[in-house]
Amino acid sequence: MEAFAQQPDDELAQLQELSNKWESDASGPLVSERVSSSAITTEYANADPVYQAKTATLPQKYAQYRTCRGDGHCGWRAVAFSYFETLQRMGNPHKFLEEETRLKSLRNILNDAGFQEHLYEDFAEDMFDLLRETAAANDGGASLLQTFNDPHRSMSVITYLKLLTSAWIQKHPDQFQPFLHQPVKAYCQSHIEPAICEIEHVGMDALVNVLVKPAGIAVEILYLDRTPGTEVNTYRFDPVDHNNAALPNPPTFRLLYRPGHYDILYKLEDLPSIVPPPIAHPAEQRVFLNHHQSTQALPSKLPFDTNNFEIPGLSIFSGPAVSGPGVAWAPYPTYDFSASPISPQPIAQPITQAIPQPRIEATPAYAPIAAPPPPPVSIPTEYYSTTMPLEPPVTSLPLYQPSPIDRGGPFRPSIWEYESYSMPQAPHPPLCQTAIFRNSHYNTAHFNNPDFEPEQWQPDTEYNPSDRSRKKSSHSQ
């Protein structure tokens, strides 16, 4: 009987020894990228029905999560990473300086707990360096994630936080002793300070009180356990002000606790907003067309608006833009536009997108008068610019489809004959002075002639001495 009773004790001792030597086969990154929280639901698809029900509701409130490697530091790592990430999300560079100053002031607590300064100053300096680097970074947290996946730097930060948590617990023994089954100092030496030691509830409470809440950050911990219900239990740590009142709407990070493991949860509002890159639009080309309105030769009706007339590539003058109708510049020779007497064409819809202008050979503005006019330039409607440089206001110019000009119809003055309208010329001599032609509409002196010109009186013709002598001789006979 004694041998039989002794055997279970030996087995328990052996099992305890195996348990102490067991190490988890941890793999994967120390802190992963954000992934969809629906992966948690898939992970527990074949688990206990309570876990299935609770994990099925997680994606409805929490969009994404990060996994932390379960190497005995996942809780410390989750709090440390979330602390830096939340500070970066707040977008206040001065907050990092405030936190560095505050943490440096906690050196007295470390010294009072018996930690020698030359033993922890390297860990503290790594913590302060990471605060400065995160404040200067503008990469959406990429460098922070890279730092926490560096085993040496991340363990240095975690070691500093462990020492700070141990000193805080020893500084406030009355707050934590009721929850411990051993003296405070012994608990810290066995459950807080060792290199490989996962965080417990007492350590989590102390870490939040010394690191997170004084920074004005709230923490929510969701416990995924087998308690009744379809939703996980949530415990919240709210920061307080100097009057011990909870701060309104503080920045918050969230942790998911599964037995022996911590991960990081994100709501949709916790995710950084994605700003779309600016769309590069082609530069709008603006063409300035300077013209002069003449009251002598400009037709009364044109099939387009001459005040807002704009043709890409045709700029007659290099002077300033026209600011209103009737504007002229004396130093520049001006030419009027004349249109054939045709019915106006329907107006096309304005084009809303500017298209690069093609190279168009325009008619030279200073061509000789005697040179034959070049053929008309046909400009495609799709290359019209829609931006008017005239001010005020900036308007869109409707397109006008030019029609073929009929030069064989009724009388039409040409733009190359402008000088005949603006400069005085000698009167044309009559073609014939017979009585029948003088009363015909083909006579330019007749009022029905399109080129009607009143006949001018010529005294030399009326009072020719030779004619007078001829008339006298005829009467004498």
Contact 339, 414 (CB under 8 A): no
Which one of the listed residues 68, 73, 74, 191 is annotated catalytic? 74
Rounded CA separation 325/327 (Å): 6
Question: β-strand 64-66 against 252-258: which pairing, if any?
Answer: unpaired
Give yes or no: 225 in active site: no
Rounded CA separation 101/95 (Å): 10
Question: β-strand 252-258 against 218-223: which pairing, if any?
Answer: parallel
Closest listed residue to residue 220, CA positions, set 371, 367, 439, 62: 62
Tell me how far the alpha carbon of residue 310 is from its chain's centroid: 33
Tell me how far the alpha carbon of residue 418 is from its chain's centroid: 54
Token pair for 177: 């002793």
Rounded CA separation 433/445 (Å): 11
Give yes or no: 112 in active site: no
Instruction: Name residue, tokens 């503290």.
Output: 124
Instruction: Name residue, tokens 């044109």.
Output: 302
Helix (H, G, I), strand (E, B) or coil at 116: coil
Residue 456 is which amino acid?
Answer: Q
Give yes or no: 71 in active site: yes
- Give CB contacts under 8 A, 24+ apart, made by 48-56: 48/226, 50/226, 50/227, 50/228, 51/224, 51/226, 53/229, 53/230, 54/224, 54/229, 54/230, 54/231, 54/232, 55/224, 56/230
Contact 72, 198 (CB under 8 A): yes
Token pair for 76: 């410390």
DSSP state of 109: H
| H/E stretch holding 64 | strand 64-66
Q: Note if the bond before 356 is cis, omega within 30 degrees.
A: no
Closest listed residue to residue 157, CA positions, set 144, 140, 171: 144
Contact 342, 403 (CB under 8 A): yes
Which one of the listed residues 129, 197, 261, 446 is annotated catalytic? 261
Residues 6 or more apart whose CB falls under 8 angstroms from that of 239 comprise 212, 213, 214, 215, 216, 217, 218, 246, 247, 250
Contact 472, 464 (CB under 8 A): no
Active site residues: 71, 74, 261
